[in-house]
Structure formats: structure tokens, C-alpha cells
Amino acid sequence: MSELTTVFPGTELAPDEYLADFNREFWHDNSGVSWKLERRQEFIESNNASWEASRRNDWTTSLDLLEKRRAKLADYERRIADNGMEVRRVRVVEQPISPYLLWELSSLHVRHQVGGKIRVVGPEQVEPFERGRTTLPELFLLARPIAYQVLYDEQGALAGAVKCVITDEVEHWKALVADLYDRGEELGAFFHREVARQLPSTG
């Protein structure tokens, strides 16, 4: 992973190591606000039947599968709240909205409807932070001083992560993502204005 651009020092984790480490750390002593930043416009969602259906332009199946996850997502959001936790997500969306993001924003909209805290920002809001760099990183920042920069290959497949536990580094990125969140638009309003009308017909 060392050839991929990283924004802070830390421990390099392979994909399976990252997923296991994150799951352990996220559910242990993590009360308070965690932050997630998504900047890339394309990802590969391995083993996701809804995403695969959208790629085949079978939006009836894709959206039906997302709807079937509603109860599971609601249980997840309740578990987070019961543990004194909150996750605030910032999703950067460029225009025109990519086919991948039509699908992801549809997925996030279901999460939003069951309690997920999600806001949308555009390129103009992240541009001040991207001067002198390519783009902002993909980040998950826990409530305590643990940060993960999630790494992807050129196609958007998960390539691993860098885990940082340096308090100053973690707090720097928390402040940046919190600023974007404060200036973002609630996903619900954005979805109804910009996404719903662009979804291919499911009739």
C-alpha cells in the first residue's frame, strides 16, 4: 500500500485487517461523534447485489434490494444510539452525478430515513482544502483519537487502510470534516431535488 497517497503516518492495514480492526475499535469505548468523509465518485461494491443490479440497469431490483435492507439499517442505527454513539457522514457529490452515486445516494437515503446523519457538499466546498493536493482522502474518524484513511485502487476497489492514533493528526481531520458537515445540505432535501428525478425508470 505504500505507493498509495497517504495523509498521515500510521499502521498500514490490508483490507481484511482493516475491516477487523475497524469493527473492533468502532464498538469499543467509542461514545460520542464519529465522522466519515467520502470524496471519490466511483467505488466497486464487492458482493453487493443491489449495486450489481444497478450496473445492469435493473433499477427495479436494485432499489427493491435497498428497501429490503431498511429494517437492518434501522437496527444498526438504534444500536449506535443505544451505545451513546453518533456517526456524521459527509458525501462529496460532483455534477453530473455519476451512475455509481445515483446508486449510493439511493442507498444512503434509506439510511438517512432511519436515522443516519448524512450531509452533501459540492466541489466548491472542498476546493479550499484541496489546493496543493489531488483530492481529499476517504476517512473514518472515531470519537476517540483513532483515524482510518481508507485506501482504494484506481478502479475504486478497497486496497486497505492506514490507521493513525496521533491525537493532533486525528483532531485536525475531525475539524475539517466537521466544518464540511456544518456547511453541507441534509441528504433528504438534496436527494429529492437532485437524485430522485435522475433515477432510471423502474416501471
Question: How far apart are alpha carbons 170 and 200 in whole angstroms?
Answer: 40
Is 56 within the bounds of a domain? no
Per-residue pLDDT, averaged over 9-15, amounts to 98
Is 171 within the bounds of a domain? yes
Quick: pLDDT tens for 46-63.
899 999 999 999 999 999
Confidence band, pLDDT 50/70/90 cuts, at residue 142: very high
Confidence band, pLDDT 50/70/90 cuts, at residue 3: very low
State the pLDDT at residue 143. Answer: 98
Is 50 within the bounds of a domain? no
Quick: pLDDT tens for 84-120.
999 999 999 999 999 999 999 999 999 999 999 999 9
Integer angstrom CA distances of residue 191 from 11, 12, 98, 105, 188: 37, 35, 14, 7, 5
Work out how many domains the chain is built from and give that number.
1
Is 116 within the bounds of a domain? yes
Confidence band, pLDDT 50/70/90 cuts, at residue 192: very high
Is 164 within the bounds of a domain? yes
Q: Average model confidence (pLDDT) for the chain?
A: 95
Is 102 within the bounds of a domain? yes
Q: Is the pLDDT score of 17 beyond 90?
A: yes
Q: Is the pLDDT score of 182 beyond 90?
A: yes
Confidence band, pLDDT 50/70/90 cuts, at residue 201: low
pTM, rounded to two decimals: 0.94
Domain span at residue 79 reads 11-40+61-198
Q: Is the pLDDT score of 76 beyond 80?
A: yes
State the pLDDT at residue 4. Answer: 66
Is 163 within the bounds of a domain? yes
Confidence band, pLDDT 50/70/90 cuts, at residue 126: very high
Is 176 within the bounds of a domain? yes
Q: By the 8 A CB rule, do 163 and 146 touch?
A: yes
Q: Could you tell me the CATH number of the domain that includes residue 194?
A: 3.30.870.10
Angle (nearest 5°) at CA 137 between 174 and 166: 45
Question: How far apart are alpha carbons 43 and 2 in whole angstroms?
Answer: 20
